[in-house]
Amino acid sequence: MKKQIILVIMLQLFLGNMWAQKKKGDVLIKNGTIITITQGTLENTDVLVRNGKIARIGKEISAPSGVKVVDATGKYVMPGIIDAHSHIALDAVNEATSPVTAEVWVGDALDPFDISIYRALAGGVTVSHAMHGSANAIGGQNETIKHRWGSVKMDDIRMDGAPRTIKFALGENPTRVHGEGSDIVPRTRMGVEQVFRRAFSEAKEYMEAGDEYNANKGKKGYKGAPPAYDIRKEVIADILRGEIIVHCHSYRADEILMLMDVFKDYGIKKLVFQHVNEGFKVAPEIAEFGAMASVFSDWWAYKFEVYYSTAYNAAILTRNGVLTSINSDSGELIRHLYHEAAKTQKYGDLSDEEALKLITLNPAKQLGIDDRVGSLEEGKDGDIVIFNDHPLSIYAVPQMTFVDGVKYFDVKEDRDDMRIYVNPSEEVDVMRLRTEQEKCMANTEWLLNQ
């Protein structure tokens, strides 16, 4: 009987949690410094969220009945941070079995239990772009997710209505995996280009055959048949139709120019370069094409093809009219994107608004979701983060994070085992630590020799 009662309680908690992840929240944030991104910074202002949407922004808003009030006096309130390049919440990243795997979709294998979702919320990140890896020239389709931590189903973290996106990759990754690993095209950078051209040409023929059949079926005397269904070609045809945004792993300037030339030949316009470390060399050309760029703030030289870069990359791209964001590509760095954005004020002297757009409105535009997130505006989703200090300050720490008006992170409500605080006045016995380290190394060496 006791076991049955426990099972009933657990089931109630389980079902209650499922329901909680699907609902939209109500909250009134009072007296904060509101960084809207698009409409300036508003002092001592309130934000009211009803049923998951921002209902009103203004002063002295009265709380409707039943709406929880959060006092943000002395704090900064901004839109939830968006990471345009992430691999959190994924069961697998690469389907590295072919240079072209457009048919696969990371959304088939989302992991809503990934602790990285919670850690991202602790860094104020409310939306991320869960991407296929860069093993393939044309990889799998990606998924834009909302960080509804505690969800138990994949569907709970999907961002409904977000445009479709797909991962492409240039350079060493596809040439190493396929050319060196399997002795098939592409082994070289020129081989990567031909993978694109062949895939687009085949998909174009497939698309045109389908269009011809659809235009003529039912007409008297027409005896044509539709092409045999091919999901890979269907997806690439949707790229040609402009229905899928391409996000392409890239480093070198020569390859960036190459891909834009290929896209021009096939009339493809929706393109976001990821990493794009040498984008500063060809910033005017990227702007002229209309491509966008999602960059690291200061990562490079971790392999030879990305040896040459600069921390001024984001600023140079921005100044040349390229819509630019800063991403993490990391389950750890995703917690510090506001610090990464702040670096552009040291390297490039971007304004507060320009720097914050790199992690809010700009990535939202790159994902095609800027009508819903990326700024604090009435009618947009209630994705909000509250900081104790200005988010570009080195002393800034997120205090609360809301997704659709539901609070998913509160720094004061972390469980005891979720956060470790460093005591700056604690005395550390350095010699004892060194002795323990030497013992550990000796034990490891002994085990390796057994």
Q: What is the pLDDT of residue 58?
A: 98
Mean pLDDT of 201-224: 96
Q: Give me the number of domains the chain comprises.
A: 2
User: Any idea what the CATH number is for the domain that residue 115 is in?
Assistant: 3.20.20.140
Confidence of residue 425 (pLDDT cuts 50, 70, 90): confident
Q: Quickly state the pLDDT bin for 19 (edges 50, 70, 90).
A: very low
Q: What pLDDT sits at residue 428?
A: 73
My answer on whether 191 and 253 are in the same domain is yes
CB 201 within 8 A of CB 262: no
Bridge partners, residue 248, by sequence: 168, 273
- The residue out of 318, 351, 373 marking a domain boundary is 373
Asked whether residue 87 falls in the same domain as residue 59, the answer is: no
Q: Is 434 within the bounds of a domain?
A: no
Shared domain check, 136 and 32 = no
From 17, 82, 66, 10, select the one nearest 381 (Cα to Cα): 82
pLDDT of 386 = 98
Same-domain check for residues 209 and 237: yes
State mean pLDDT over 206-234.
Answer: 96
Rounded distance between C-alpha atoms, residue 110 and residue 355, angstroms: 31
Give the C-alpha separation, 442 to 449, whole Å. 11
Among 327, 364, 384, 346, smallest CA distance to 35 is for: 384
Q: Which residue has the higher pLDDT, 401 or 2?
A: 401
**pLDDT of the residue at 439:** 73
Residue that terminates a domain, selected from 346, 373, 400: 373
- pLDDT for 31-67, tens place per residue? 999 999 999 999 999 999 999 999 999 999 999 999 9
> Is the same domain home to 107 and 176?
yes
114 domain-assigned: yes
Question: Bridge partners of 351?
Answer: none
Q: Is 280 contained in some domain? A: yes
Query: What is residue 424's predicted lDDT score, i.e. its pLDDT?
Result: 78
The answer to whether position 432 is within a domain reads no
| Predicted confidence band of residue 142 (pLDDT cuts 50, 70, 90) | very high
Flag whether 442 is in a domain. Answer: no
Residues 42 and 191 in one domain: no
36 and 74 in a single domain? The answer is: yes
Tens digits of residue pLDDT in 347-371 = 999 999 999 999 999 999 999 999 9
At residue 420, the pLDDT reads 62
Question: Which CATH number characterizes residue 41's domain?
Answer: 2.30.40.10
Residue 447: the pLDDT is 60
Residue 316 lies in a domain: yes
DSSP for 194-237, please give it.
HHHHHHHHHHHHHHHHHHHHHHHTTSTT----PPPP-HHHHHHH
Q: Which of 401, 420, 397, 417 is nearest to 409 (CA)?
A: 401
Are residues 85 and 58 part of one domain?
A: no
Q: Is the pLDDT of residue 22 over 80?
A: no
Tell me: do 196 and 51 sit in the same domain.
no
Considering only CA atoms, which of 70, 259, 97, 123 is closest in space to residue 182? 97
Q: Confirm whether 424 is domain-assigned.
A: no
pLDDT at 450 over 90: no
**What 3-state class would DSSP assign to 97?**
coil
Nearest to 343 by CA among 407, 405, 298: 298
Q: Is the pLDDT of residue 416 over 80?
A: no
Residues 46 and 103 in one domain: no
The residue length of the chain stands at 450
Structural domain range at position 136: 81-373
The average pLDDT across 331-340 equals 97
Tell me the average pLDDT across 256-265: 98
Is residue 332 domain-shared with residue 344, that is, in the same domain? Answer: yes
Are 227 and 351 within one domain?
A: yes
pLDDT at 429 over 80: no
**Of 373, 400, 427, at which residue does a domain stop?**
373
Least confident of 33-37, 42-46, 218-222, 268-272: 218-222
- The pLDDT score that the predictor gives to residue 327 is 98
Q: Is residue 439 included in any domain, yes or no? A: no
CA 381 to CA 372: how far, in whole Å?
Answer: 6
How many CB atoms neighbour CB 425 within 10 A?
A: 4
pLDDT band at 301 (very low <50, low <70, confident <90, very high): very high
pTM over 0.85: yes
Antiparallel, parallel or unpaired: β 398-403 and 384-387: antiparallel
More confident residue, 298 or 21: 298
* 128 torsion bin: left (phi>0), alpha (psi -120 to 50), beta (else): beta
Give CA separation, 38 vs 188, 275, 316, 373, 377, in Å: 44, 26, 22, 12, 8
